[in-house]
Structure 1
Amino acid sequence: MDVRSQDPSTRLRTLTNFASSIKLESRVPIQRYFRSGTEMLRMADVYYKEGSIENAYTLYLKFLTIFVEKIIEHPEYHTLSSAERSQFSPKIKEVFPKTETLKQKLLHIFQQEHELYEDEMAKKKQEEILRLEKEMEALRIKKEDEERRRQYQVEKDKSMVDVGHRPSNEKSVLVKPDGLAPIFSANNLYPSNCVPSVTHETKAAAKELPGFDRNLKPRTIFLGPSGLRTVVLPASVLDEFVSLANSNTKNNVETCGILAGKLEQNQFLITHLLIPKQNGTSDSCTTQNEEELFNVQDKHNLVTLGWIHTHPTQTAFLSSVDLHTHCSYQLMMPEAVAVVCAPKYNETGYFTLTTNHGLDLIASCRQQGFHPHPSNPPLFEVASHIQIHPTAPVSVIDLRKI
C-alpha cells in the first residue's frame, strides 16, 4: 500500500507509536542504555542535518521515550546517583522542542503527499475514462463500417441477380460518353474511419497536478534485502586486528576490539578499530575500564557498530558466551555485527543474531558462562548487510598501551 494514501494524521500517529514502542531489557546494564542514548542523539543529529526528517524524528522520539518514561523501570535505576539520573536533562530540554517542530513539519509534508496522491489518482481515473470512451467510439465505428459493408454486399449481390434477368440486347453497363465505365470503390462510397479529436473540454478534464515542494519531502532509511542499513567495513581492519592480536593468539588467548564509526547517507561506515584494556582467556575476553573507551568515542563522535574478537584455536562461530555478548550490542543497534577471526583456520566470520528467533531467545536467557542453547532454528546467521570495502581507511586506537 502506498503510505501516501493514508490520512496524514493517521500516518503520523502510526510513526509516533512505532518510535515510542520500546521495551527495556533488564539484562542490559543501565549504563549501556545511557551510552546508547548518546549515540542515538548523534545519529538523529546526522539525519537532521541530511534532511532525513522522518528518521530524525523517530530517533529523537525514541530517545525521549527511553529517558523520560522508560529508564525508571530498569532494575538498576535505583543504584544511580542523582547526577547520573539527570545527566540527560539538558539534552531532554533541547530535544523536546526540536521533536515537536519536526512533528509539525512531518504533518505538513504528509498532507502535501496525500494531496498529491489524491490528484494522481484522480488523473489516472480520468485517463481511464477517456481510454474507455475511445475504445467504445472505435468499437461503434467498426460496427457501423461492418454494417455498411454488409449492406453494400447485399446491394451488389441483388444488382448481379437483376442483370442476369435482363434481355440479352440490353447493355449491362452504362457507358460514359468517353467510352469508359465508371469506377466504383468502397472508399468512394464510405468515409474513412478516424479517431475523433480530443475536444477542449476533454483536455480540461485531465487536471494538471499541483506543484510539490521536494525540499520538504522526508527522506527515509534505505534498507537492504535484510531490512538493515548497510555497514561498510574496511578490509584493512581484519589485517590490523589479527596483527595486534598475534602475541595473544600465540599464547592461546582471545583478543577483542570495538568497531566504531559514523552514519552517513543512510549507511554506517566503520572508521575506527578500538582495542580496550581487557582480560582474555583461551575462550573468552572481557573489556575493562569502559569509561576510557567511551571518552575516546565521545572525542571522535563515534557510534558503536559491533565488535571483533579472535578464536585462537577454533573456527569462526559464536559460542554461547559470544551470543550473550553480541545480544547487548544488537539490542542497542540492530545493525551491530560480530566479527570472528580464526587465524589457525584462516577464517573470518561476520555474524548477527537471527531477529525472528535468536535475539529474543538470548535476551530472555538468564544463564551465564558457557551453557547449551537449542540450535534449531538457528540462533545466529551470516550478516548479509555488511560490505567489505577494499580501500577504505581505518584508524586504530590501542588503549592497552595507554
Structure 2
Amino acid sequence: MLEPSDRVNELYENASKSVEQTFEISAPIIRYFRTMETMNKYQKLFVDQRRFVEAYVLQIKIGVLFLKHVKQHPEFLTFKASNSSIVSNGRNQAKEALNLAEVTKSKLLDIFAKEKVAFDETQKRLAAEAEMERAKQEMWVLENERRALEQESSTIDTEGFIPKETSTPVDAADHNLPPPPYQAEQGHPQVPDRSTKPRSSSTSTASSSVNSIVPGLKIIAPSANARSIHQKVTVPALLGPEFLKYAFVNSSQNIETIGMLFAKSLQGRFQITTCLLPKQKGTHDSCTTTNEEQIWEFQSQHPELIMLGWIHTHPDYQAFLSSVDMHNQYLYQSLLPEALALVVSPNYKEIGAFRLTETGLTVIGNCKEKGFHPHNKNPPLFEAAPNVEYLNSPIEMVDLRS
C-alpha cells in the first residue's frame, strides 16, 4: 500500500488528468461554468456523506477546470465582458473548492494513515499465519516419515531377530502431538485449505433487481460476481414503461429518445424521482439534446435534485452501451460514481441500468475517437450496475420537447 501522502498526490494527479480528458477547448465556455456548478453541488454532498475521496477529487477538478481551462478558453475575455457575474461566481467557486481541498486533504491523510497501519498489521498477521501453516505442514511430513520408519523397523526379522511387542509404532499422543486431521493415500498428511472455509455473504442487490417486476420489460441483471462499493440507487419500476410511452412516436419511426434522470439523496441511497425530456434531435442510433439551458434551468429550479445520469431508447437494438453511449456515460460517471445509463429496448422488451467498469473508465477516458468506433470487449468496459434496485416508487415525467 502507498504511503498516505503518495495516495493523496495520486488522487490529485488523476483528478487533473481527468479534467484534461473530459473537457475540450472547443466546447462552449458556458458549459464549463455549468459543469463547475454541478461539481460544486456534488462535492458538498460528498462532504456531508463523509465520502472524502470523491469530495477531494471534485474540489481539485473545480479548481483545475477554472484555472487551466476556463481562463485559457478563446471565448474567456469576450464572455467575461458580458457575463461578469457568472465569471465572478466561477472564480469564487474555484477559490472555495481549493480551500476546501486543503481541509479535505488533511482528513484524507489521517484516514489513509490509519488504513496504512491496519494494512501493515494485517500483512504481518497473514505472514505469521502463513509461516505457522508452513511449519505445521513440515511437522506432519516429518511425523509421517518417522511413523513410516518405525513401521518398517517393526516388520524386519533377520538373523532370527524377532521384534518385541513393545516395538510397535508409537502413537502421536505419546509425543504430545495431535493426530493429523486427514491422511492421504500416499501417506502425506494434509491440512484443510483455508480457502474452503465458508464465507458469509451479504444479500446481493442484483437478486432484488432481477426478482422485481418491471411491467412488460425484462431486466438486464448484473453478473453473478459483480460487486459494488457505491451507494444503492433505487429506480422506479414504472420508469421504463413510462419512458416508452413518451418515446412511442419516436420509436415507431425508429428514432431514439433521451431523458435526464434526477434523484434525491435519502438515508444513504439515491432515489430516482424525476425524468426530464429536454428538446432533442434523434436518429435510429443516436440522440442529442439541442437546448442544454433547459436542463440547467430545471436543475437550478430544483436544487434538492441531483442529476444521476440519463436514459435513452434503442429502437433497433437490445439494451447495451454503444461506443458513443460509453463516452456519454463517462461524462456523467466521472462526476458522480453512482451515475447510471438506463437503456430501454422497445422491440426486445428489455431495460438495463449500466455503468462503466474501472477498466472502462480508464479506456474511455483515454480514447480520443469520435462517433461509433470499436473497443475491446475483454475485459468488459461496462456492466449492469449491481447497486440498483427496482422498487414501486413514484416517478415524475417532465416533457420539455414541445
SS at match of 1:274: strand
Q: Say whether residues 1:273 and 2:268 are aligned partners.
A: no
* One-letter amino acid of the counterpart of residue 384, structure 1: A
Tell whether the 8 Å contact from 1:260 to 1:270 is kept in structure 2 after alignment: yes
Residue 384 of structure 1: how far off its partner (Å): 2.8
SS at match of 1:73: coil
Residue 399 of structure 1: how far off its partner (Å): 4.3
> For the residues of structure 1 that align with 2:342 and 2:148, how far apart are their CA atoms?
75
> For the residues of structure 2 that align with 1:139 and 1:383, how far apart are their CA atoms?
47
1:385 corresponds in structure 2 to 385
Residues 297-316 of structure 1: pairs in structure 2 closer than 5 A: 297-298=299-300, 299-308=302-311, 315-316=316-317
Question: Which stretch of the first structure deviates more once superposed, 278-287 or 119-128?
Answer: 278-287
User: Which runs of 5 or more structure 1 residues have no equivalent in the other structure?
Assistant: 162-182, 198-222, 366-372
1:60 corresponds in structure 2 to 59
Residues 178-327 of structure 1: pairs in structure 2 closer than 5 A: 185-186=166-167, 193-195=174-176, 225=226, 232-244=234-246, 256-262=258-264, 269-276=271-278, 278=279, 290-298=292-300, 299-308=302-311, 315-316=316-317, 327=327
Distance 1:131 1:158, change over 3 A: farther
The one of 62, 83, 86 equivalent to 2:85 is 83
Q: Say whether residues 1:337 and 2:336 are aligned partners.
A: no
Tell whether the 8 Å contact from 1:341 to 1:348 is kept in structure 2 after alignment: yes
Residue 47 of structure 1: how far off its partner (Å): 2.3
SS at match of 1:87: helix
Distance 1:121 1:329, change over 3 A: closer
Residue 340 of structure 1: how far off its partner (Å): 5.8
Aligned residues: 335
Deviations 1:297-345 (A, max 9, x none): 132433334444668xx63589xxx987985564344545264665xx5
* One-letter amino acid of the counterpart of residue 51, structure 1: R
* One-letter amino acid of the counterpart of residue 393, structure 2: A
* One-letter amino acid of the counterpart of residue 105, structure 2: K
Percent of aligned pairs sharing the same letter:
24
Residue 358 of structure 1: how far off its partner (Å): 7.5
Q: Say whether residues 1:12 and 2:11 are aligned partners.
A: no
The one of 82, 106, 109 equivalent to 2:108 is 106
RMSD: 5.0
1:118 corresponds in structure 2 to 120
Q: TM-score, normalised by structure 1?
A: 0.62
> For the residues of structure 1 that align with 2:94 and 2:16, how far apart are their CA atoms?
15
* One-letter amino acid of the counterpart of residue 394, structure 2: P
Question: Which stretch of the first structure deviates more once superposed, 24-33 or 373-382?
Answer: 373-382
Tell whether the 8 Å contact from 1:252 to 1:281 is kept in structure 2 after alignment: no
Bigger radius of gyration among the two? 1
Tell whether the 8 Å contact from 2:53 to 2:108 is kept in structure 1 after alignment: yes
Residue 272 of structure 1: how far off its partner (Å): 0.8
> For the residues of structure 2 that align with 1:381 and 1:118, how far apart are their CA atoms?
33
Residues 160-179 of structure 1: pairs in structure 2 closer than 5 A: none
SS at match of 1:37: helix
Q: Say whether residues 1:394 and 2:357 are aligned partners.
A: no
Residue 92 of structure 1: how far off its partner (Å): 3.0
Distance 1:286 1:52, change over 3 A: closer
Deviations 1:73-92 (A, max 9, x none): 33433442232222223333
User: Which runs of 5 or more structure 2 residues have no equivalent in the other structure?
Assistant: 179-222
Deviations 1:240-299 (A, max 9, x none): 3344455777899976532222567887543211233x3768879775664443232132
Residue 385 of structure 1: how far off its partner (Å): 3.1
Residue 96 of structure 1: how far off its partner (Å): 2.5
Tell whether the 8 Å contact from 2:154 to 2:169 is kept in structure 1 after alignment: no
Distance 1:381 1:234, change over 3 A: farther
Distance 1:381 1:126, change over 3 A: closer
Tell whether the 8 Å contact from 1:315 to 1:347 is kept in structure 2 after alignment: no
* One-letter amino acid of the counterpart of residue 13, structure 1: N
Q: TM-score, normalised by structure 2?
A: 0.62
* One-letter amino acid of the counterpart of residue 304, structure 1: M
Distance 1:69 1:131, change over 3 A: same
2:43 corresponds in structure 1 to 44
* One-letter amino acid of the counterpart of residue 331, structure 1: L
Distance 1:235 1:76, change over 3 A: farther
> For the residues of structure 2 that align with 1:124 and 1:37, how far apart are their CA atoms?
45
